[in-house]
Amino acid sequence: MSFITYVISGISLGSVYAIIALGYSMVYGIAKMLNFAHGDVIMVGGFVVYSLTSSMGMPPIVAVVCSMIFCTILGVAIERIAYRPLRNAASSLAVLITAIGISYFLQNIALIIYGSSPKIFSSVITIPPLKLADGALTISGETVVTIAACIVIMVGLTLFINKTKAGQAMLAVSEDRGAASLMGINVNGTIALTFAIGSALAAVAGVLLCSAYPSLSPYTGAMPGIKAFVAAVFGGIGSIPGALIGGILLGLIEALSKAYISFQLSDAIVFAALIVVLLVRPTGILGRQIQEKV
């Protein structure tokens, strides 16, 4: 049974990576930039819930919704203030460096407000664990909710992109901004919407992550952020199903190598697997093989 337990915990962790990877992937696909501050938005989402529930006694579900709203506004503000002015800059490095700067900025703000010692995050998930196979296999409520949230988000986002006008605008902007503008699509608005969705998802990921691993510090978002970025590249950056597959695979590799190989080496194994995948398929598992226009 322990193998199945590891697989389930891998899928659960992978679901969180997948939700974060989606934000990376959408922003990369549509705004053509790597938003390295994305991981830190997760941390902000966690702290908003922490503050609202433990200091102000708000019901968890209300706190989660508030956190999503807060992160949405934060994401849009970051895009508007820090990234948009650089959109037509000669070097794409400028915006990358800005993103790293925003990442440290968010961490430092959190340090000032909350200090560096980790806070105990009490899980917002109250549903009871699922007992299977006559109690031999227990799946925690957090795991159930995490996997369910991941499925709902993937299906919802796929429908959104394929069925709504805003989703179609995202597809057009991701291919050719100028041509999209000629179609009447508001390119800046579409990019802002992408940041809004990505950041709201980051808030959800933050809550799920902190509920599963109940410790929260200003650096909580950094490592999951990098791993989710790896997951996005793994699956094929810019692709929604790619983020899902990349995230789940990453979670599985991490959980299984922690269980069977070495706890300390698990991150190295994850990155080694990424290198192998990229050697075989340079654009990731589901990445487009068509050469992108420069």
Partner 1 sequence: MAMLEVKDLQVYYGLIQAIKGVSFEVNQGEVIALIGANGAGKTTILHTITGLIQPKAGSVIFEGKDITKVPGHKIVSMGMAHVPEGRRVFANLSVYQNLKMGAYIQKDKKVIGETLEMIYKHFPRLEERKNQLAGTLSGGEQQMLAMGRALMSTPKMILMDEPSMGLSPLLVKEVFSIIEYCHESGITILLVEQNAKMALGIADRAYVLETGNITMSGNAAEMLENEDVKKAYLGV
Binding flag, residue 181, partner 1 (CB under 8 A): yes
Compute the least distance from the CB of residue 181 to partner 1, in Å. Answer: 4
The backbone torsions φ and ψ at residue 119, rounded to the nearest 5 degrees and listed phi first, read -100, 150
Nearer to partner 1 among residue 87 and residue 105 (C-beta): 87
Coil/strand/helix, residue 150 = helix
Contacts (CB under 8 A) with partner 1, residues 260-289: 288
Binding flag, residue 185, partner 1 (CB under 8 A): yes
Number of helices (H), then strands (E), in the chain: 11, 4
CA 170 to chain centre: 18
Compute the least distance from the CB of residue 118 to partner 1, in Å. Answer: 44
Nearer to partner 1 among residue 172 and residue 202 (C-beta): 172
- The whole-angstrom separation of Cα 64 and Cα 50 is 10
Coil/strand/helix, residue 137 = strand
Nearer to partner 1 among residue 39 and residue 284 (C-beta): 284
Compute the least distance from the CB of residue 189 to partner 1, in Å. Answer: 8
Contact residue for partner 1 among 57, 128, 184, 282 (CB under 8 A): 184
- The whole-angstrom separation of Cα 100 and Cα 94 is 10
Contact residue for partner 1 among 182, 223, 268, 276 (CB under 8 A): 182
DSSP assignment, residue 86?
G
Compute the least distance from the CB of residue 87 to partner 1, in Å. Answer: 14
Q: Are the C-beta atoms of 231 and 21 separated by less than 8 Å? A: yes
Contact residue for partner 1 among 7, 65, 187, 259 (CB under 8 A): 187
Binding flag, residue 89, partner 1 (CB under 8 A): no
Compute the least distance from the CB of residue 220 to partner 1, in Å. Answer: 36
Q: Exposed e or buried b for every residue in 169-188, given b needs 16+ CB within 10 A? A: bbebbbeebeebeeeebebe
Contact residue for partner 1 among 171, 256, 269, 285 (CB under 8 A): 171
Binding flag, residue 186, partner 1 (CB under 8 A): yes
**For the residues of 230-275, what is the DSSP string, one character each?**
HHHHHH-TT-HHHHHHHHHHHHHHHHHHHHHT-TTTHHHHHHHHHH
Contact residue for partner 1 among 89, 148, 151, 175 (CB under 8 A): 175
Nearer to partner 1 among residue 264 and residue 293 (C-beta): 293
- The whole-angstrom separation of Cα 12 and Cα 278 is 24
Taking alpha carbons only, the member of 196, 163, 186, 219 closest to residue 23 is 196
Contact residue for partner 1 among 3, 148, 176, 271 (CB under 8 A): 176
Structure tokens at 218: 């200003």
Contacts (CB under 8 A) with partner 1, residues 111-170: 165, 168-169
Contact residue for partner 1 among 178, 264, 279, 282 (CB under 8 A): 178
Compute the least distance from the CB of residue 168 to partner 1, in Å. Answer: 7
Instruction: Please report, as ranges, the residues that interact with partner 1 according to CB under 8 A.
Output: 165, 168-169, 171-172, 175-176, 178-187, 288, 290, 293
